[in-house]
Chains A and B, each alone.
Chain A
Amino acid sequence: MNELIAILTELHDDVDFTTETGLIENGILNSLDIVSIITEVSDRFDVTIPAEEIMPENFDSAEALWALICRLDED
């Protein structure tokens, strides 16, 4: 989780990712950010996030994203 926060903070150092729950809804992350995140996640966690999982519910908060990573790792 902390590593994920680190990845996110690298992209936007002015956002508190531990509390923000509207990353997509409030337009903080754009499509280019999302691709960067997916690349980083694949690099560091060895989890591939497929295109169909790219939806606001999975990217709106660090927590949701972490849950997604865990779920994909489980499968």
Chain B
Amino acid sequence: MTLTSLPFLIFAAVTVLLYYLLPKRAQWVVLLTASILFYAAAGGWYLPFILVTILTTFLLARVIERRAKADEDYIAAHKADMDKDARKAYKAAGKKKRFRILTAGLILNFGILAVLKYTGFTLSIVNDILGLFTASTLTVPSLILPLGISFYTFRSTGYLIDVYRGKAKAATNLGKYALFISFFPAVMQGPICRYNDLATQFDTPHRAEWDNLSAGLLRVLWGFFKKLVVADTLMAAVKTIVGIPEDFGGMYVLLLIILYSAVIYGDFTGGIDITIGLSRMLGLKLTENFNRPFSSRSTAEYWNRWHITMGSWFTDYVFYPLSICPSMQKLTKWSRAHLGKAIGMRFPVYLATLVTWFLTGLWHGASWNFIVWGVLNGVIILISRECEPLYKRFRERFPGLTSSAFYGGFMCVRTFFLMGAVRILDCYRDVPVTAKAFASMFYDFSHWGDLFDGSVMDKLGITLPVWVLVGLATLLIFFVSRAGKETPVADRLSRRPVLWTLAALGLAVTVMIFGSYGIGFDAGDFIYGQF
């Protein structure tokens, strides 16, 4: 059941109905049941995997919390007979033990993810290496990949670390915790909610309120609009270009950068709109995953605005711990002493940045293109950081120009194309092919004529009316997103019943007529559902 399919619509509608009709105390049970059904419908074999993750993180979190509490109690009871150093030593010893438990939990859960997701990739690398020496190769097993495993593994391990850090209280109700991990609107493609942000909401009863229902529904429809009218419609052209890289070089690669940006934007933000909108209809507030990403002026800013919950997960649970861990601190001191202060200061931060981005790439998929994509992002962020003094001088030199709207727009467009260019690695799924396609933009000018004689339409299989439709839809998305800077448009509309009705009706009808659904459109799956 993808989020834009008819069965899901019916499923979601029934869930919302039962959620409000049954006693308020049972609301979380309704959601848990729906989540289990949803997950089981995707594949019965997936259930044991998510269950192992739920049980292990739930139990280990409780053990960690109980031990922390016992340590605290001990110190409180023996305050008189322990001096500061003894207290510190006792605390440190306890923390070390808890750290071992945490590590066991992390190894188990990331281990499951690694085995299921990366065995094939690892073996193919081993085979490549073996191939240099012998003819024999290892068979690559085909393992199942449970739905949303990358997302639920992150949600559950994040929770475990939060409990270890004392930031979250360990869950006491296994059912509610299972719901937090498997919450069906978010299980496939996030957002990667934090336990403290979401799980507590399952404790409070939710009344059916017009504001939530109306704004939520509008947002769901908006998600359908982005996904079905823009993303899936353009996906056909993307597939055509990517399918025959030899025929579609030069101008088409530039076009691909633009088209795929629109596709991934419509697909991913649209999917999240459906998720957050549906949750809103249930009275639940999920963490936002996007904040007008294409208005970013730099790569670093882009990553604070795009897939926010994944970025912050990596920052909190990988980048910081890694860059300030004792061995990294030692490395810093060493490099400062031997390489000079300027390099020494940068060394740990840069190393941690690259490792984090390597892992971010790996998280997206088990292949080289994602790894290169991740590391490239890291490198770009570091380079632009190094260039910061230059930019600063430029800004001081031309204050009028750099504070103008034109310059701001230029920065946005530049970031858009930079990120778009890196992103096509995700289209071709092959590093050399991508590199060649990218380079062709600069030497192959033979296709530019297609733009002017209109043959670009035939070649990409998208007719003029469809281009016009997608163009108008994109403009609408742009203006709605701009207008929603302060208060989301859906919230403003829900206060005006007539306008709200017109908007909802307009979106529903537009999606019904112009949406790319039904026979002949197979792009129904969400791109991020595969990660």
Binding site for B on A (CB under 8 A): 30-32, 34-36, 38-39, 42-43, 48-52, 54, 75
Contacts and interface: CB of A to CB of B under 8 A. Distances in A.
Given A51-B165, A51-B321, A52-B165, A35 B348 contact: yes
29 contacts: A30-B300, A31-B315, A31-B319, A31-B320, A32-B353, A35-B320, A35-B323, A35-B324, A35-B348, A35-B349, A35-B352, A36-B345, A36-B349, A38-B324, A39-B324, A39-B332, A39-B345, A39-B348, A42-B329, A43-B333, A48-B329, A50-B165, A51-B165, A51-B316, A51-B320, A51-B321, A52-B166, A52-B167, A75-B88
Contacts of B333: 43
B329 A39 contact: yes
Contacts, number: 45
Interface in B304-336: 315-316, 319-321, 323-324, 326, 329, 332-333
**Chain B: number of interface residues, binned into ranges:** 20 to 34
Given A35-B348, A39-B329, A43-B333, A54 B300 contact: no
Given A30-B300, A36-B345, A39-B332, A51 B167 contact: no
A75 B82 CA distance: 13
B158 to A, nearest CB: 12
Interface of B: 88, 91, 165-167, 300, 315-316, 319-321, 323-324, 326, 329, 332-333, 345, 348-349, 352-353, 385
A35 B344 CA distance: 13
A36 to B, nearest CB: 6
Of the listed residues A36, A51, A75, the one surrounded by the most CB atoms of chain B closer than 10 A to its CB is A51
Closest 8 pairs between A and B when the two form their complex, measured CB to CB: A52-B165, A35-B323, A51-B321, A51-B320, A35-B349, A38-B324, A32-B349, A54-B320
Nearest to B381: A32
Contacts of A50: 165, 324
B431 to A, nearest CB: 27
Contacts of B91: 75
B169 to A, nearest CB: 14
Contacts of B320: 31, 34-35, 51, 54
By secondary structure, the A interface counts as helix
A8 to B, nearest CB: 14
Nearest to A11: B345
A14 B5 CA distance: 53
A61 B165 CA distance: 23
Given A31-B319, A39-B329, A43-B333, A51 B324 contact: yes
Nearest to B318: A51
Contacts of B315: 31
Name which of A31, A32, A36 has the most chain B CB atoms within 10 A of its CB.
A31
Given A32-B385, A39-B329, A54 B316 contact: yes
Contacts of A52: 165-167
A21 B316 CA distance: 22
Nearest to A38: B324
B513 to A, nearest CB: 42
A28 to B, nearest CB: 13
A73 to B, nearest CB: 10
A12 to B, nearest CB: 10
B235 to A, nearest CB: 34
A31 B324 CA distance: 12
A57 B208 CA distance: 34
Given A31-B320, A42-B324, 15 more contacts: A32-B353, A32-B385, A35-B324, A35-B348, A35-B349, A38-B324, A39-B329, A39-B332, A39-B348, A43-B333, A50-B165, A50-B324, A51-B320, A52-B165, A54-B320
Nearest to B356: A31
Contacts of A75: 88, 91
Contacts of B349: 32, 35-36
Nearest to A42: B329
Given A31-B315, A39-B329, A39-B345, A49 B353 contact: no
Residue picked from A35, A49, A50, A52, most chain B C-beta under 10 Å: A35
A32 B326 CA distance: 17
Nearest to B87: A75
A44 B168 CA distance: 31
A36 B341 CA distance: 12
Contacts of B353: 32
A35 B348 CA distance: 9
Contacts of B326: 48
Given A32-B385, A39-B332, A49 B88 contact: no
Contacts of B352: 35
Contacts of B323: 35, 38
A50 B316 CA distance: 11
A49 B324 contact: yes
A38 B300 CA distance: 20
Contacts of A32: 349, 353, 385
Contacts of B332: 39
A51 B99 CA distance: 13
A4 B227 CA distance: 49
A30 B88 CA distance: 31
B330 to A, nearest CB: 11
Nearest to A53: B165
